[in-house]
Structure 1
Amino acid sequence: MPETVLYDYWRSSAAYRVRIGLHLLGLPFRAVPVDLTAGQQRGPDNLARNPQGLVPVLEIDGLRLTQSLAILEYLDETRGAGWLPGDAAARAEVRAMAHAVAMDTHPVCNLRVAQHAVSLGATMEGWMRHFIPLGLAGLEGLMQRHAGGRFSHGDGVTLADLCLLPQIYNARRWGVDLAPFPRVAEVAAALEALPAFQAAHPDRARPTP
């Protein structure tokens, strides 16, 4: 069976999501680092893998997959992960929370966007501390609708949770106060206790010098 390979950057939120998914499924994989700070994502090798010049790229089942949510939904569909509920309305709710992170908050805090903002006069810290709390405020409201469960949507890990914890890592990295987001913080703490989430943490994915 072909080896599963993840082209990864240790601090990439999108790659972090996929690492969580792979660990939850117990799928062994080889991580190949792509250094975003050195511009390796724009090099010919990575562009051949992903014409968008981004990470992650997952090579699995003879395929080369890009975009973290597309990768996670592929894994969910082919491995029976259960990250999306069986009910159509519940699936829409889970996707809304996942998209609030991955499609609304993350894109404006992406390295290439933030670096361009800095080139126009913003500071990296100011940019992150403005947009991350905005995103978390909306997510908090969505998650409060499901405050009775252990995780973002009930008592089982869903796609929303795979998106949440990487965003919390970034929030802490940039000194964002989580006190105004009690439901977000509560779920994050529950997720941080799970071995698969611990195994995917950036500190464990960081390449050794």
Structure 2
Amino acid sequence: MQLYSFFNSSTSYRVRIALALKGLEVDYHGVNLRAGEQRQAQHRELSPIAGVPVLVGDDGVSLTQSLAIIDYLDALYPQAPLLPSEPLLRARVLEVAQLIACDIHPLNNVRVLGYLQRELKVSAEAKDSWYAYWVAEGLAALEALLQRYGSGPYCFGAQATLADCCLVPQVANAERVGCDLQAYPRVMAVYEHCQAQPAFQRAAPGRQPDFIQ
């Protein structure tokens, strides 16, 4: 399999975690989002939205969108399942994953932050305030869900799920930009547990071939 990724992309990070948890190897292709490589015609052939990740299977199947990729991998390689079979627990995992992927991340990704500065001419301080506000809104909701329904060292029990694949990159991004995370003890307990696990360590940005200091 081929993975088109950027070391610091949280969506790519989710897929790398899923691959590592399942023990799957891929050929890694770095796509430098900072240099605009995702907008080149060759990459747009793979990703119409000009983004990462893109997974290309051995059979030539090409998929974009991290949640779709992980769902596909889970169906194809059922070892270490990331989506539980029990209906309510599956829904809880998806609830957390979609809170992160649909409510938090889209407001704070590179394209949105770039548009705020480039087109709307907001200051760096205003951009950082925007980021911190929406992260706080989202993580407060995430904390409430995990306090109410979560258990164990991971989001939901003793095994990592799609929820953990989404939580870790989001918290890592928030840490990187200096957000105050003290108000989210359950979120941070899950994050710290995951960070100590070999699969999550292998997927970390600093371990990727295209890592830039």
TM normalised by structure 2 equals 0.93
In the other structure, the counterpart of 2:9 is 12
Partner of 1:138: 141
Gaps of 5+ in 2: none
Q: Supply the distance in 2 between the matched residues of 1:169 and 1:97 (Cα, whole angstroms).
A: 16
The alpha-carbon deviation at position 89 of structure 1 amounts to 1.1
What percentage of residue pairs aligned between the two structures are identical?
Answer: 42
Deviations 1:133-169 (A, max 9, x none): 1111111111112343211112211100000000011
Given that 1:100 and 1:135 are in contact with CA atoms closer than 8 Å, whether structure 2 keeps it comes out as yes
Where does residue 23 of structure 1 map in the other structure? 20
Residues 208 and 181 of structure 1: CA distance in aligned 2, closer, same or farther (over 3 Å)? closer
Secondary structure in 2 aligned to 1:65?
strand
Taking the TM superposition and a 5 Å limit, the aligned residue runs for 1:91-130 are 91-119=90-118, 120=120, 121-123=122-124, 124-130=127-133
Query: SS where residue 76 of structure 2 aligns?
Result: helix
Q: 2 CA distance for matches of 1:38 and 1:181?
A: 34
Unaligned runs of 5+ in 1: none
Q: Describe how 1:48-87 pairs up with structure 2 within 5 A.
A: 48-62=45-59, 63-80=61-78, 81-87=80-86
SS in 1 for 2:28: strand
Query: Which has the higher relative contact order, 1 or 2, with Cα contacts under 8 A spaced 6 or more apart?
Result: 2
Mapped to 2, the partners of 1:84 and 1:189 lie a distance apart of: 21
Between the two proteins, the alignment pairs up a number of residues equal to: 206
Q: What CA RMSD, in Å, does the superposition of the two structures yield over aligned residues?
A: 1.3
CA drift at 1:125: 2.0
1:32 matched to 2:29: yes
Deviation (angstroms), 1:122: 4.3
How much has 1:51 moved relative to structure 2?
0.8
Q: Where does residue 149 of structure 1 map in the other structure? A: 152
Q: 1:206 offset after TM fit, Å? A: 5.0
**Residue type of the alignment partner of 2:151:** G
* Paired AA for residue 64 in structure 2: T
Question: Per the alignment, in what secondary structure is the counterpart of residue 149 of structure 2?
Answer: coil
Distance (Å, rounded) in 2 between the aligned partners of 1:84 and 1:68: 14
Distance change (3 Å), C-alpha of 1:86 and 1:28 = same
Detail structure 1 runs of 4+ shifted over 4 Å in the superposition: none
